[in-house]
Amino acid sequence: MISPDNYKKPLVSFILIGYNQERYVREAVNGVLSQTYSPLEIVLSDDCSKDNTYRVMSEMAADYKGAHKIILNRNETNLHVGRHVNRAMELATGEFIVMGACDDISLPRRVQTLYEKWRETDGRAFCIMSNAAAIDQNGKVIASHFFHAENDTNPGRIVLRRYDDRVRVSLLKTGYREVWYASGVLGATNAIQRKIYDEFGPLWGTLFGEDEALCYRANILGGVAYVDEPLVLYRRHTEHLVPDDVPPEKKAHYDYVLNQHIVRLDENNLRDTKTAFKKRFLSRSQARYFETRFRWELQRGQINILSHDRRWFSLAFVIVKYIAVGIRRKKMVGWLLWRCDPSLFAWVRRWTKHAKLEATPPPPGGCAPDPYLAFFGRQGQL
């Protein structure tokens, strides 16, 4: 640990991106300007909004008289999330970068708390996420804590359950203090090291969201740190990519959008896997496992998209590839389970010999560990 007497606080960048969020942007910018950490550089970036989002940003930047440095940007064309984040990263110069969107509100100590957590890990965590409070589109608090941490029967594993029990995030010990391998992050609470971009380059331009792609990169380079304190007011509203409450008549449309997101994310992760192998962040066996995993998920998403578009010839071709990769993936998952958890592998083999699931009790804890995380947890032994 670096001695406080010999430590100079680095420049931190706060990137706030927005598109057609005139209704919420003023609260979001106020939250960023109120940060207690210094020195802080703030990048306010608008993705060619059709409403007054950029005008509000520019007016508030002009009126600001504080110590933080402000960089104002408006894209000439709509770049979408992936390319917009890339553009904002080009403008930011900090070593440690906090991410935010114009529909969420950052609490005043957010940057300071995330920076302190990053420093506690001696820079070994490449992504820092925190808890959040969920609010509705009018600012009313829905849940004081977005996540509730639960200890797993595995002493090195923590499960973060969402307040509505819909999604959970798994954290697996990396072997170093409070650094974890994460199966996902809440992008609204993210902060990352610049090295994530220096090593892997820009995100795939067509991405709908950056959080899962950055989490995968962080897992490869070192891991993720978690702060169990609400530092963001995370807004839940109907303008999200896939809202929580989807009307039955719109379910097919949102499923189509979600599959497009999955395909683009897997394309990005495949490229990052190749980069990680070339730079020796992953061994050959590790890279092969992740390439097979992402290619299988990519083809599954393509099947759903092609069936929706009724492109039958292309669909038949992808199904053949999907089956071939699925056979390979099944073999690799068995090898992975055997290497990471022989007892779980034995349980799976016993279970597959029974006609009914009820014939065999589940493993301790009620659910099997995520093979993706188990792979990261044992990567030093592979």
For 199-215, give the DSSP string. Answer: HH-SPPTT-S-SHHHHH
pTM: 0.81
Phi-psi category of residue 80: left, alpha or beta, with phi > 0 → left and psi -120 to 50 → alpha: left
Beta strands in the chain (DSSP E): 12-18, 40-46, 69-74, 96-101, 105-106, 127-135, 141-143, 147-151, 157-162, 168-173, 179-182, 191-193, 224-235
- What is the spatial distance between Cα 171 and Cα 185, in angstroms, rounded to a whole number? 10
Q: Flag whether pLDDT at 382 surpasses 60.
A: no
Q: Distance between CA atoms of 8 and 76, rounded to whole angstroms?
A: 37
Q: What would the mean pLDDT of 43-47 be, rounded to a whole number?
A: 96
Helices 284-309 and 312-340 cross at an angle (nearest 10°) of 150
Q: Are 126 and 192 in contact (CB under 8 A)?
A: yes
Between 94-108, 258-272, 363-377, the lowest mean confidence (pLDDT) is in: 363-377
**pLDDT score recorded for residue 339:** 53
| pLDDT given for residue 334 in this prediction | 57
pLDDT over 90 percentage in the chain: 47
Query: What's the pLDDT at 359?
Result: 34
- Residue 369: pLDDT band (50, 70, 90) is very low
Is the model's pLDDT at 338 over the cut of 60?
no
CB 241 within 8 A of CB 257: yes
CB 318 within 8 A of CB 303: yes
- The mean pLDDT of the chain is 81
Gap between the Cα atoms of 354 and 259, Å rounded? 33
Nearest CA-CA partner of 29 in 43, 39, 19: 43
Could you read off the pLDDT of 71-107 as tens digits, one per residue?
Answer: 999 999 999 889 999 999 999 999 999 999 999 999 9
Task: Report the chain's C-alpha Rg in angstroms.
Answer: 22
Nearest Cα to 304, choosing from 320, 326, 319, 290?
319
pLDDT tier at 333, thresholds 50, 70, 90:
low
DSSP 3-state assignment of 87? helix
Per-residue pLDDT, averaged over 269-279, amounts to: 93
Lowest-confidence range among 8-22, 112-126, 157-171, 221-235? 157-171
Region class of 141: left (phi > 0), else alpha (psi between -120 and 50), else beta: beta
SS3 355: coil
Give the mean model confidence (pLDDT) for residues 115-129.
93
Above 60 in pLDDT, residue 335? no
pLDDT score for 371: 55
Residue 241 has pLDDT above 90, yes or no: no
DSSP E strand boundaries for 102-246: 105-106, 127-135, 141-143, 147-151, 157-162, 168-173, 179-182, 191-193, 224-235
Please state the domain extents for the chain: 4-235, 248-381
Containing 309, the helix (H) or strand (E) segment is helix 284-309
Q: Is the confidence at residue 17, as pLDDT, over 90?
A: yes
Q: Is the pLDDT of residue 69 over 80?
A: yes
Which percentage of the chain shows pLDDT scores above 70? 74
Residue 233 has pLDDT above 90, yes or no: yes
CB of 11 closer than 8 Å to CB of 94: yes
Q: Is the per-residue pLDDT at 189 higher than 70?
A: yes
Whether the Cβ atoms of residue 302 and residue 318 lie closer than 8 Å to each other: yes
Report which secondary-structure segment, H or E, holds 272.
Answer: helix 251-278
181 pLDDT above the threshold of 90: no
Position 251 scores a pLDDT of 67
Q: Which of 324, 277, 265 is nearest to 296 (CA)?
A: 324
Q: Could you report the per-residue pLDDT of 130-141, keeping only the tens digit for each? A: 999 999 989 999
Element spanning 329, H or E: helix 312-340
Structure tokens at 285: 């066996």
Helix (H) or strand (E) holding 115: helix 110-120
Burial of 11 (0-12, 13-18, 19+ CB in 10 A): middle
CATH number of 4-235: 3.90.550.10
Is pLDDT at 375 greater than 70 in this prediction? no
